[in-house]
Structure 1
Amino acid sequence: MSEVLFVPGAGEVEDLSAAELLALARSRKSAEDRAAADLLDVAARWADLHPPESIHSAASFTVPGSQHEEPIAGEGAPLVAEFCCAELGTVLGITSTAAKKLIGQALELRHRLPRLWAQVQAGAVPAWRARVVADTTIHSTPPLTVEAAGFVDAQVAAVAGRVGSAQLDRLVAETIRRYDLATADPAADPEDGYLHVDPRHVTVDTDDVHYAGTMRIEAEVDIADALDFDRAVAHRAAARAALGSTESLDVRRAKALGDLARTQTALDIAGLTAEAATADANEAGDLPAARQVVIHAHFDASFSGDTTVFGPTGRMENGRRLVLLDQIRSWCADSRTEVTITPVIDLNSELTAQGYKVPADIREQVQLRDRMCVFPFCSRPARRCDVDHIVPWDDDAHAEGRPQPGPATTSNLACLCRFHHRFKTHSPWRYAMVAPGVFEWTSPHGHRYRRDHTGTTDLDPPHPPDVAAPPGIPRPRRR
């Protein structure tokens, strides 16, 4: 006789024992893993429905900017129509880039890592582990051939996907050597078994601004450069302490990094008193500004007589994070700082240009209003986007004596990143501005989304839960 299982509701969870809660956690995790495996299968099947041939069936000729076939997995995996990723992404509540990544990893697993794919679908390997492996084989440099990917697949599948990132990197490097994929490079050591790739870089993460007004910097440099850098930072941090700074060593080292960034104009303050350094800075009129501050920050302001009173907190466009007025003051207070103040723009006014081209003042207003690309779930900052005519501009309207249907006016303009600008122009997706800065989109399959400065809202009614719920646990006895 089979045991009757049930899935408890929110109120009934409070009555469960410790053992029953653990059983519930296990069943939920099992359901999550099963759903993730199913999602990979759905992504691969979605790609099957959008092969490159679907582009040519949708349009009889190619125009500049239209979609193209795109390889999003390794050699041997099928190509897909470029625009197919966006609709799957919006249904899942993720960006088009994340959807492309999901589809690419699904195709990589199904076509180039079939053993690992089978283990995922059988529930033996979690989907997230397999996706890490697929992402590594997709982005290998040089690219892995079908045979090389098969070798990686056999090794990873043999341990049921339990391979760490370092082990995976070594495995790919060994595969590159085994299949002789590395490009001849006189600087590479043929005996070390690793592909010679120059890892040096300096990356400033401008998209992630901490609430404290800081950014993260990551770098990979030569050993000698790294040691020189460490000595320079330590020296400048010590100099700040000698000048009377009571800040922590970490803070002084962070500020020393800013000094190094302005080396060509920063003053050598070693051995000087704070007063002498300030006087020297004031007399150095021939030096260019050591820091140029162009800050796009927004604060609430009120008037007290002839004085403008700003609120203590505001919002930075870069990173869309909270910023304190005191932080802005401190950034502008350092010596030899050039501050650029942009005029205040009324976001509620309607601005109109005479022709197709969007002038700088209207572009600035639209960027400040939209803040980001207005396609559902896209997070690209507005200042890195195109300004799109929602209703397209008609070049023939004036010559034919008709009113212009798509004028360059605030209410007909929106920020779209280049991909979604092309996407809107060359696909069946349509959108309209229903209020200032509020946009409603309709996908080719009829899904509707609202996008405003708070994010994306799915306008479709919620779907009922699946009839076949995952296995639960026995109903607890009431006392």
Structure 2
Amino acid sequence: MIETDRLLQPYEVDGLVRADVLLAVRDAEVQTRMSERRKLRLAVRWCVLNPGSADDRADLADVERSYGIDLPDLHIAGEGTPLLAAGAPEAFAAASGVSAASGQSALADALDLTHRLRRIMRGVEGLTVPVWKARKVAQLTRPMPAEAAVWVDQELAPKLAAGLGFVTIERTVLAAMAAFCPELLDEREKQGKAAWRVEVDDRRGEGWDGTSVLDALGDTADLHDFHDLVCAVADRLGELGDTDTVGQRRAKALGVIGRGEHGALLGGAGTVAAAGDRVPERSDGVGGSAGQPSADDAGDGPAVPARSERTEVALAASAGSATVVPSRRVSRRLFVHIDAAMLAQLNADPDSGSVTAGAGATVDVERLGVATAAWVRSWLGSDQALKVTPVVDLGGGGGVDRHDPPPWMREQVVLRDRHCVHPYCEVDSRSCDLDHIEPYRPHGPPGQTRPENLAPLCRRAHVAKTHLGWRYVRNRDGTYTWTDSSGLRYLVTPEGTFPIG
């Protein structure tokens, strides 16, 4: 493999000795800083070329009042920085291959570093300060007045060049906040509590489809109490013979607690069926970890029940799709795309011998990805009754003579396009507006509202298309061609976004 150093001299990677590898790593870090500096310089230039004005802000306010929507703010950075023209973040983000929010963040950081954190910016220019650290300081100081940002700049600029870590960076910023704007500390606490949440991210997991992420932000004492309970359940699972890792047992413990089985688990003995799975007995008499008793030695206490309650489930099969709606615990619907044969297998009695879906059988679950048929059965429970509702025809229905699409038409479009069709946007289509690609005219021709003329757009993309100069068409193959306000074009496909000119 041939690489090139920052002086444009080629070298053979496979021929490097130990010391040469480390020197090459140092050189690669310098090249990385040069590349990131170049992107930051371009962000600064884009801001210079796209200045905003008070008149622009007034125009946007009129649009917001007329349409009842929130348009992106022109003042995206800290106090003392110039306004940015509406639509500038969206175009910059698309050219960068990132979402609009990420593009706006990069531009805001560029403005703060140029106008409020000039010493740190000089460190970036001299390649002594990595861009990611400089941007972190910009983000932390953005709510603060300009004089506080200048103080932080003076304090941190020489230290960042010496490799200062994030913890010290944050402490310095908080010290400035206490000295210059203590009211922000109160606001920080209020915002912290306002941000409390417990959310499940079903879009992608950590390593394989079918895994989700539970994100909890709340009172420290409450979360520590819950964590202690999770750890106690996980430890008990290990004592009863579960041979999974500690992390896996803790993940299982969430399901045990959610099903209300932890009381029996912590208060009794015996073999436990964690997460719907019976813990296997081991012939060697060894439990889940060294020194732990095996399931065979745990006594004859009551076993913790697996999921046994019956859950009413509705399946709305739609051209190979199904909607799973548990009536207990889960308040949202789970959309499973599945063919008729597999649906029959899932609906069959597992004890009848008619279930033949093998270990390799998979289904497509919205926001989760690919999951095995066996995994879907475990979600539904071993004794679930499945109810099939009428099929939704994705290719039929025609148009209607009104602005808002009927529910069946919205379902067609959402199933057809899984996410916002703006370049690089991945907002789930069920959270999007349905936009008329050719604008709806109240006194126009009949049938303007039809699936072929509708596409899911997140609110920001909808605003960009309606008010900020973006335009797009839906191609015959179901892809979308977008053109931004500068004339750059992007092809949006189910496989991703591709710049085309």
Deviations 1:339-362 (A, max 9, x none): 776655444446433322111111
Map of 2:455 onto structure 1: 414
Is 1:295 paired with 2:334?
yes
Map of 1:445 onto structure 2: 486
Map of 2:3 onto structure 1: none
What is the SS of the residue equivalent to 1:375? coil
The change in CA–CA distance for 1:45 and 1:212 in structure 2 (over 3 A counts) is closer
User: By how many angstroms is 1:117 displaced?
Assistant: 1.2
Map of 2:172 onto structure 1: 171
- CA RMSD, Structure 1 to Structure 2 (Å): 4.1
Q: Which amino acid aligns with 1:358?
A: P
User: By how many angstroms is 1:165 displaced?
Assistant: 1.4
What is the SS of the residue equivalent to 2:405? coil
Work out the CA distance in 2 between the residues paired with 1:58 and 1:446.
26
Map of 1:318 onto structure 2: 367
User: How many matched pairs?
Assistant: 431
Deviations 1:300-352 (A, max 9, x none): 55589999987712332214x322211111111168x7977665544444643
Residue among 433, 453, 456 paired with 1:386? 433
The change in CA–CA distance for 1:343 and 1:137 in structure 2 (over 3 A counts) is farther
Residue among 186, 204, 225 paired with 1:208? 204
What is the SS of the residue equivalent to 1:407? coil
Greater Cα shift, 363-372 or 345-354? 345-354
* Pairs within 5 Å for 1:394-473: 394-397=441-444, 403-404=445-446, 407-460=448-501
Work out the CA distance in 1 between the residues paired with 2:42 and 2:176.
30
Greater Cα shift, 32-41 or 272-281? 272-281
Q: Which amino acid aligns with 2:457?
A: L
Work out the CA distance in 2 between the residues paired with 1:201 and 1:66.
23
Work out the CA distance in 1 between the residues paired with 2:386 and 2:343.
25
Map of 2:94 onto structure 1: 90
The change in CA–CA distance for 1:57 and 1:225 in structure 2 (over 3 A counts) is closer
Task: Provide TM-score, normalisation by structure 1.
Answer: 0.76
User: By how many angstroms is 1:79 displaced?
Assistant: 1.8
Is 1:371 paired with 2:418?
yes
Indicate conservation of the 8 Å contact 1:373/1:381, yes or no. yes
User: 5+ unaligned residues in a row in structure 2: which ranges?
Assistant: 1-6, 273-301, 313-326, 346-353
What is the SS of the residue equivalent to 1:414? strand
Work out the CA distance in 2 between the residues paired with 1:438 and 1:308.
38
Work out the CA distance in 1 between the residues paired with 2:153 and 2:102.
23
Q: Which amino acid aligns with 2:204?
A: D
Q: Which amino acid aligns with 1:175?
A: A
Greater Cα shift, 211-220 or 110-119? 211-220
Map of 1:463 onto structure 2: none
Is 1:51 paired with 2:54?
no
Residue among 371, 377, 402 paired with 1:329? 377
The change in CA–CA distance for 1:279 and 1:247 in structure 2 (over 3 A counts) is closer
* Pairs within 5 Å for 1:50-199: 50-53=50-53, 56=56, 62-63=62-63, 64=67, 65=69, 67=71, 69-138=73-142, 143-161=143-161, 162-182=163-183, 198=192
Work out the CA distance in 1 between the residues paired with 2:184 and 2:244.
50
Deviations 1:224-266 (A, max 9, x none): 4345324533554466678876655544432332243355x99
Work out the CA distance in 2 between the residues paired with 1:134 and 1:302.
55
Indicate conservation of the 8 Å contact 2:233/2:262, yes or no. no
The change in CA–CA distance for 1:21 and 1:272 in structure 2 (over 3 A counts) is closer
Indicate conservation of the 8 Å contact 1:233/1:256, yes or no. yes
Q: Which amino acid aligns with 2:338?
A: F
The change in CA–CA distance for 1:361 and 1:260 in structure 2 (over 3 A counts) is same
User: By how many angstroms is 1:448 displaced?
Assistant: 1.1
Task: Give percent identity, aligned residues only.
Answer: 30
What is the SS of the residue equivalent to 2:486? coil
Task: Provide TM-score, normalisation by structure 2.
Answer: 0.73
With a CA cutoff of 8 Å and minimum separation of 6, indicate the structure with the bigger relative contact order.
1
What is the SS of the residue equivalent to 1:357? coil
Q: Which amino acid aligns with 2:176?
A: T
User: By how many angstroms is 1:294 displaced?
Assistant: 2.9
Map of 2:348 onto structure 1: none
Work out the CA distance in 2 between the residues paired with 1:432 and 1:102.
29
Indicate conservation of the 8 Å contact 1:89/1:96, yes or no. yes
What is the SS of the residue equivalent to 1:77? coil
